[in-house]
Amino acid sequence: MKYYLIAGERSGDLHGSNLIKALAQHDDSAQFRVWGGDYMKAAGADLVVHYRNIALMGLLEVLKNLRILTNYLKQCKSDILNYRPDVVILIDFAGFNLKIAAYAKTKGIRVFYYISPKVWAWNTSRAWKMKKYVDRMFVILPFEKAFYKKFDWDVDYVGNPVADAVAGYRIDENFRKQYENYDLPLVAVLPGSRRQEVAKMLPVMLEVIARFPDYQFLIAGVSSLPAEVYKNIYPDNATVHIDKTYEILSVAKAAIVTSGTATLETALWNVPQVVGYKTGRLTYAIGSRLVSIKYFSLVNLIADENVVTELLQDACNVETLSHEIRLLTEDEGRRSRVFEGYQKVRRILGNETASDKTARLMIAYLNESAQLS
């Protein structure tokens, strides 16, 4: 079968690549064409457009690049029509992918959604639109199945691909050996994988680093961003490591993490963390009126309790971040409470192998559809 996958950022690219591998194992004739990144390409897919060209965050960024995004949408629609896949598989990235879902449906192409957009956080009525255009939804957070049930939509919970990625990762042992007997406390710094979020978070993180000359900070950079993003003047006690996030987490005692998939990755590596997030003032002003959830980090959302400290917008400053890092590295009671919360998260996620289960379900649904037609 022919599969067309679309992901708009790094984590979607990673999870999409693992899904591609799983689909290929269960479908000998599988062909893959994607909008994604290096992970998908390495998995054997034909890469049309890299996500770095379309990954925008915030209202102003989207508005400023609306014409570019519109052109990419046209290109994507045309490419799908020419390729005529058996199914379009959308991975998160709601603003772009929901438009593609509507288009594919009008052309009689089946639409699967893997990793639901966060419609449960704001503008929940979008779920009705998704139900209209999406043939099957595969969710990765346990509470999402109950959420979609409110819309009379039976979706598949498949486990969480982040757990798969962590469990299956092979650490660079040379990196570990470099830091395993390090004299100073090691703190991971995860500023994010999108340029806009790194631009907001990294300067604050660097100020925090300057306050801890007796610690060593390991900054997780990503190769999908231009090198100049990380060419600031760093304190002597900080180093940047590109595409070594899991290696960094494997040796870290604590972490400062930009909200996103990385918060769950950090939890699964069992590293106590403080979560921060900053965005443009206009985006925040509008978003804060629309969002209706208790927590914004994946760890707290899954546990449904305050496992890790969340610092949003103005609260995410040098003073608060520094205070939390001190607690997470020196207060054993605080560290123990975080570890207990992490154990709860693991229990809730369960032991499903998300990529393999999703691939098997997708192929079964496609074969079922073929038999009915």
pLDDT in tens, 336-354: 999 999 999 999 998 878 9
| 12 and 150 both lie in a single domain | yes
pLDDT above 90 covers a percentage of the chain that reads: 73
Among 73, 140, 82, 123, smallest CA distance to 101 is for 73
pLDDT in tens, 208-265: 999 999 999 999 999 988 888 898 767 889 999 999 999 999 999 999 999 989 999 9
| 230 and 107 both lie in a single domain | no
| 176 and 55 both lie in a single domain | no
Banded model confidence at residue 296, pLDDT cuts 50, 70, 90: confident
Per-residue model confidence (pLDDT) at position 59 = 47
Is it the case that residue 207 has pLDDT exceeding 80? Answer: yes
With b for 16 or more beta-carbon neighbours within 10 A and e for fewer, the 162-189 pattern comes to bbbbbeeeeeeeebeeebeeeeebbbbb
Q: How far apart are CA 204 and CA 226, in angstroms?
A: 20
Per-residue model confidence (pLDDT) at position 292 = 60
Q: What is the average per-residue pLDDT within 47-56?
A: 85
Is it the case that residue 331 has pLDDT exceeding 80? Answer: yes
> From residue 296, how far is each of 100, 162, 260, 342 by CA, in Å?
27, 17, 9, 16
Is it the case that residue 287 has pLDDT exceeding 80? Answer: no
Per-residue model confidence (pLDDT) at position 232 = 73
| 13 alpha carbon, distance to own chain's centre | 9
Banded model confidence at residue 282, pLDDT cuts 50, 70, 90: low
Q: Residue 104: enclosing H or E segment and its boundaries?
A: helix 94-106
Q: How far apart are CA 92 and CA 114, in angstroms?
A: 7
Do 327 and 369 form a contact (C-beta atoms < 8 A)?
no
| 174 and 81 both lie in a single domain | no
Per-residue model confidence (pLDDT) at position 122 = 75
Q: Which two tokens stand for residue 226?
A: 């231009």
Per-residue model confidence (pLDDT) at position 284 = 46
| 364 and 319 both lie in a single domain | no
| 37 and 155 both lie in a single domain | yes
Per-residue model confidence (pLDDT) at position 281 = 64
Q: How far apart are CA 311 and CA 282, in angstroms?
A: 18
pLDDT in tens, 15-42: 999 999 999 999 999 999 999 999 999 9
Q: How far apart are CA 110 and CA 355, in angstroms?
A: 19
Which one is predicted more confidently, 286 or 233? 233
pLDDT in tens, 65-106: 667 888 999 999 999 999 999 999 999 998 899 999 999 999
| Structural domain range at position 60 | 2-159+352-372
| 298 alpha carbon, distance to own chain's centre | 10
How many CA atoms, within 13 angstroms, populate the side-chain half-sphere of residue 58? 19
Q: Which two tokens stand for residue 25?
A: 């194992």
Q: Is 288 exposed, middle or buried (0-12, 13-18, 19+ CB in 10 A)?
A: exposed
C-beta atoms surrounding 319 within 10 Å = 11
Per-residue model confidence (pLDDT) at position 183 = 87
Among 64, 116, 60, 121, smallest CA distance to 289 is for 121
Phi, psi of 331 (to 5 degrees): -100, 105
Is it the case that residue 298 has pLDDT exceeding 70? Answer: yes
Per-residue model confidence (pLDDT) at position 65 = 63
pLDDT in tens, 97-142: 999 999 999 999 999 999 999 888 777 888 999 999 999 999 999 9
| 278 and 324 both lie in a single domain | yes
Is it the case that residue 283 has pLDDT exceeding 70? Answer: no
| 334 and 187 both lie in a single domain | yes
Number of compact structural domains in the chain: 2
- pTM metric for this prediction: 0.85
> Helix, strand or coil for residue 279?
coil
CATH number, position 364? 3.40.50.2000
Is it the case that residue 6 has pLDDT exceeding 80? Answer: yes
| 149 and 286 both lie in a single domain | no
C-beta atoms surrounding 137 within 10 Å = 23
- The torsion angle over the Cα atoms of residues 5, 3, 369 and 154, rounded to 10 degrees, is -20
Q: How far apart are CA 312 and CA 231, in angstroms?
A: 26
Instruction: Quote the DSSP letter at residue 92.
Output: S
| 140 and 174 both lie in a single domain | no
Do 266 and 273 form a contact (C-beta atoms < 8 A)?
yes
| 223 and 208 both lie in a single domain | yes
| 236 and 309 both lie in a single domain | yes
Do 326 and 334 form a contact (C-beta atoms < 8 A)?
no
In the block, tokens 């985006």 appear at 283
> From residue 98, how far is each of 5, 7, 91, 131, 163 by CA, in Å?
13, 12, 10, 11, 26
